[in-house]
Structure 1
Amino acid sequence: MHWGPRFFSRRTPRSVRTPANSPRITWRAYRVLLQLPLLVCGCLFATAPAMAEDTVLRVLAWPGYADPDVVKAFEARFHARVEVTLVDSDEALWDNLHAGHTPPFDVLAANTAEIQRYTQEHMLAPLDLAQIPNTRRQLPRFQALSSIDGLTAGGKVYAIPFTYSSMGLIYDRKQIAVAPTSMTELWNPRYRGKVLDFNSAQHNFSFAALALGYPDPFQLSPAQTRAIALKLVDLRRNLLTYYTLPEEATAFFVHHKAALMFGNYGTQQLAQLRRAGADVGYVIPNEGALAWLDCWAMTSATAHRPLALAWINYMLEPEVSALLIQRQGLANTLTPSPESNVNAHLVWIRPVADVQRRETLWSKIVSGDLPETFK
């Protein structure tokens, strides 16, 4: 999910294979502790394909995507067992798929950049949309699969959008009466010492590229990269601090009365701040906002294609997709998000060029190096 995960930095490679009723043991598990009770009833409408009682569907997913009650209802309907392996980083996802598990994984959830990577490695099977009728329930922007980089190749579909989060601006309504409309507000001198920024080279360079009006925030020339580095050096004047985890951001925002924040965790972060008593608003700037989009895909190694397709279709049932909003504070692909307008300009994250250059410059930025040292 990207959140994942989304989604934002997912660096610590960890995974745990669990039965459906095992506890979550990841750095993102705090979200699961906030889950609301839900009864997933057996009256959902899909027709189950005939399956042998000993059939096992192996699912690779992020916490919150395949919760025990959801899995149990699927097992009862399709007369199969589901084994869920949880990951909390893109690296863990990649490692699991390359570990040579026997039997192999059948379905997985990954962001669009990773989906593109797996498709190029011939690790995913094309999907038969006729077997995933719930795609017709999705919002138009998510039915237009060819318009989203990474989901199609050679005229075939390899992944179906499931959940997403934008990385917009979060602001204190008490200090900012009128919602900001531009990412450049982060540099406004009136917010000196009141801005929070996410500690990530990739996303900072990309969102600053949007603020500067560069057409492709993921493919930057050397001159553009240096200009952005200097822009991010300038942002230090307004910073309260950098944050990594959403809990840190919430604590800083509430206790130090921050005014404005680059919301790397988007609507999830907004929900957490509101639970902490903060009077905050959320906007997608006019320049657009970075966003991650996690999708379901079927592996090329699966021996259970009908069941794998049934799983993807099941994940798009309204009762199941609604859990992303109720439990995780995420958006789903069936209903418009009240915080992320359906017509908002979202820029789905893609692999960036020259990662090492961004990382090197970011290290100098957060270390406080002087502008004249940036070559």
Structure 2
Amino acid sequence: MSDRHAQATSPSADVAAAPVVDVHAHLLLTELQDEVAARDPEGFAAAQALDARRNGTESMAASGRMIGERMPLLISLDARLAEMDRQRVDVQLVSPSPSHYYPWAGEELAAWAARETNRAVAAHVAGAPDRLLGLGLVPLQHPHLVVAALEDAVIANGLAGVEISSFAGDVELSDERLAPFWARAEELDAVVFLHPFGCSLDERLDRFYLSNTVGQPVENAVALSHLIFSGVLDRHPRLKLVAAHGGGYLPTFLGRSDHAWQVRPEAHGCRELPSSYLRRLRFDSLVHTPSALRALVDAAGADRVLLGSDYPFDMGVDDPVERVLEAGLPDAETRAILSGNAGELLGARLPRAATRVGVTARITEGGAA
């Protein structure tokens, strides 16, 4: 551990009231999924078959059991708030479970599903406006529809932004057709939460749960590389993009990308070294080990990392605050990850009345070292 990580000081009293904010928490919309299946049974069945092919029968069965056991946490407001209290989390930024992306859906169904998702998420968070904020969806596979869906989420439904996948069909995040979306997200000061759904490696990862343990970090790395190398972040420097799962494999292995940028002309689509763009992105803290979190902070900066749990799935963590404390970061950096960075990300959208325990109390109780 570096000297910087070893030097923790007593937090000042003026941050005691800062709310602890989890930016990676999910909501399952079962009725919407049933309606989508009813409206396009063939498309839905094909998507289910693809999911099964990518994950394998063993993982599909295990995931089904896990979701069944945790269903109350995914759909019940009371269960969510009780679990937040147990975790000592003051505010959740709630995003729809990635099963609702429907990247195969045609234009009409995709636009309808995005609107219904936005409405349903808004209704859920309205049940506890002092504790919850919401993210909606956009039909990424139809670029000409995404601006309207973004506006529906943020303007019509009062959500903080939208959740997107790492790709949809033939649409990568570097696709020029998405330029109006990035520009409008900047204008609206909207959060864009990058959370992969599925992995394009398909059957190569259909055993040992590699579809998630390897697939998700790969998808994060590929999607972020598309954003960096294509110059999207040059053209939209105020974009508030948060990458789930700590950004996957990318943040701590960008030396190879920097080298490619220097020696390969086709890799020179961005103005600066690829590693410099970590300062323009944000990442959740869900990297599972103290050393991995310290490495992420070293690579991106403590001001670019926010608390994330992947609530309530088994690949998330049930004690997200304690996981941050275990990294032994200086108190100022711990406070930033638990609260301060979310305040900068969400601004006036953050419900200030939510604080129950506060960051100072969490550090004191957790014994950050």
Q: Tell me the TM-score normalised to structure 1 length.
A: 0.27
Which structure features the higher share of helix residues?
2
Higher-Rg member (1/2) = 1
